[in-house]
Structure 1
Amino acid sequence: MIVAIANTKGGVGKTTLAVQIAIARARAGRDVWLIDGDRQGTAAAAIAIRSEGETIPGIACAQYPDGPQLRAQVQQQRNKWDDIIIDVGGRDSTALRAALTLADTLLVPFAPRSYDVWALDDMAALVDEANSVRDGLRAFAVLNLADPGEQSTDNAEAAAAVAEVPQFQYLSTPIRRRKAFSNASGAGLSVSELKPKDAKAIAEIDRLIQSILNV
């Protein structure tokens, strides 16, 4: 399975989700390749820290911010891996467009702020463009950095707005704004590996992964 995690809007937690999903799948026994398609290289840096700490399982990671190179490498090596997770930066880039032509699944995280929701129109247009040249792309939107409260008005309004964007299937598995996610990802760890454990963070990322797999 190839999963692209993308949004033209920056600051919505794409890299954190990419790192968490990649490590979780590796811990489930899958052969995982994490591709950092952002010139900032944040995902690659996190995995380098994991490698330096000799944390098991190790995660294969490569950085391809150039779209043609990303496409060529994935096409050449896709059969070597059970799962390929592609993290692409917060802008319309050649890497993002390449990822949309390669992925089985697109995951678009968005935050519960009006300008983040509006930015989904840009991603919707890119999904339409990708679907004009390929078949089978499953596109999901997930609320990330959600307000902690279960009854948050901002969370509910953002979810309702996204439900009206037909290009995406909204996943009702929000990832809330928790220190465990940023602390773990910055250390190249999954929230399941971080100590002390945050049971709510672990449950949230597990539910998100199962939603992607089961649809």
Structure 2
Amino acid sequence: MILTVGNTKGGVGKTTLALNIAIARALSGRDVWLIDGDRQGTAQTAIALRAESGRQPAIACAQYADGTTLRTQVQHQGKKFEDIVIDAGGRDSTALRAALVLSDVLLVPFAPRSLDVWALADICALIDEARSVRDGLKAYAVLNSADPGGSDNADAAAAVADYPQLVYLDTPIRRRKAIANAAGQGLSVLEASPKDAKASDELHALLSKLF
């Protein structure tokens, strides 16, 4: 499967989520390729830290911020891997557009904030374009860095109904220090010590919906 974690809006935690998904799939025995489609290269930096520490399983990672290069490399090398996770977006880029056409699944993380919800219109426009080129792209939205409580999560989730291109997954990933701390070491929250059971359960719930 080729899965893109992407959004035209920055600051939604897509890199941390892509990293967690890729590592979780590798931990389950899948041969995974993580592609960093962002010029900042944050995902690649995290994987480099993981490699330096000798953490297993090792994760194959490459950075292709140019859409043509990303598309060409996936077409040439993609069959070597069981799962490809692409971290793309933060803006409307050629890498994001290429990823959408290549992908089986798009996961759009968004925070429970009005600006994040309004910005879904931009990624939905790109979804329409991608589907006009290649049928079959499944697109999901998930709350990331969700609030521990209050009504904002429910209000944001309800607003996704205004965007028929997206299916809302009721598997929010809440804002937790364990997730950020693990990512800063090139780890999934599933590998964090001490273990955060709630964060792990949330990630497993999301993975069960995606795969």
Q: Which residue of 2 aligns with 1:166?
A: 164
Letter paired with 2:52: E
Residues 5-154 of structure 1: pairs in structure 2 closer than 5 A: 5-149=5-149, 152-154=150-152
Deviation digits for residues 7-45 of structure 1 (CA, Å, limit 9, x no counterpart): 000000000000000000000000000000001000000
Compute the displacement of 1:100 (Å).
Answer: 0.4
SS in 2 for 1:6: strand
State the distance in 2 between where 1:184 and 1:159 align: 27
Identity among equivalent positions (%) equals 69
Compute the displacement of 1:129 (Å).
Answer: 0.6
State the distance in 2 between where 1:164 and 1:10 align: 21
Compute the displacement of 1:207 (Å).
Answer: 0.5
Gaps of 5+ in 1: none
Q: Compute the TM-score of the two structures, normalised by the length of structure 2.
A: 0.99
| Aligned with 1:183 (options 181, 184, 208) | 181
Compute the displacement of 1:89 (Å).
Answer: 2.9
Letter paired with 1:209: L
Compute the displacement of 1:102 (Å).
Answer: 0.3
Letter paired with 1:110: F
Letter paired with 1:157: D
Compute the displacement of 1:172 (Å).
Answer: 0.2
Q: Which residue of 2 aligns with 1:206?
A: 204
Letter paired with 1:167: Q
Deviation digits for residues 153-183 of structure 1 (CA, Å, limit 9, x no counterpart): 1101000001221000000000000011111
SS in 2 for 1:129: helix
Letter paired with 1:52: E
Compute the displacement of 1:112 (Å).
Answer: 0.3
Compute the displacement of 1:84 (Å).
Answer: 0.2
RMSD between aligned residues: 0.6
Q: How many residues align?
A: 211
Ranges of 4+ aligned residues in structure 1 off by more than 4 Å: none
State the distance in 1 between where 2:51 and 2:120 align: 34
State the distance in 2 between where 1:62 and 1:210 align: 26
Deviation digits for residues 50-78 of structure 1 (CA, Å, limit 9, x no counterpart): 00000000000000000000000000111
